[in-house]
Amino acid sequence: MTEQTAREKAESLTREEVAEYLRDHPDFFLGQDELLRSLTLPHDSGRAISLVERQVHLFREQRDTLRRELVELVSIARHNDRLFEKSKRLLLQVIEADNLNEMAAAIDDSIRGDFGLDASSVILFTDQPLAESPEGALQVVSPAVADERLGDLLAGDRAVCGQFRESERAFLFPEREEPVASVALVPLRDKEVRGVFAIGSSQPGYFDENMGSLFLTYISDTLSRLLPSMMQRYCEPPLVMDVVAENP
């Protein structure tokens, strides 16, 4: 093959064909030190660099990217670990509660203390009267009232996050003096909706519709399993048995 024929053949190759060949033969440059030194590439600085320098530069960029991603993953893992510990403490306190008011108070203390948020409430849906009046973070309303005031917010099985309408925020946090700007609302379900667990923040963007709700769902799943037995104990009036003394 003459030099001219070789040049014409080389010129007929496309960039894609050359790239594909190099991908299929990654060891092509082994023993081609002189060729590597003669190849140059443009650099951001404006000067030409060798292929080896370019590879080193790319490897360093890749290393830095992987390092940043690793640091971010470690940070997320630590954050999730802290959330898990806080959630575990909250649920242990809920399990140890003697009545519905204590359960709601334990949730409120944890949300404000451990989680550092501004407001919380537990609203139960029932037409039966409680054995004791609801206090603090606990509210009891009829299912009809809840449906009227919250409507579509009760349709799903998962947490709903956002700023909500003012009337909805007022219903969820009636005793709150400072305004709640954003809300996370978690339905408490067994076979039916038994209530909601609401968390509020004074920051408008704290809860939004794209926020992850894994830990909120974890808490609500546990509460949903505890509520039926607790409501049965504290919503049904105790039976009074008449004792008739027999005459001797």
Write down the domain spans for the chain: 33-96, 99-232
Which whole number is the average pLDDT over 129-135?
A: 75
Which whole number is the average pLDDT over 204-214?
A: 73
Which whole number is the average pLDDT over 154-163?
A: 80
Least trusted range by pLDDT, from 36-40, 154-158, 176-180: 36-40
What is the pLDDT, as a whole number, of residue 70?
92
What gap in Å lies between CA 203 and CA 108, rounded to an integer? 18
Which whole number is the average pLDDT over 143-151?
A: 86
Greater model confidence, 243 or 232: 232
* pLDDT for residue 38 is more than 70: no
Task: Return phi, psi of residue 27, to 5°.
Answer: -95, 15
* pLDDT for residue 244 is more than 50: no
Fold classification of 99-232 is Beta-Lactamase (3.30.450)
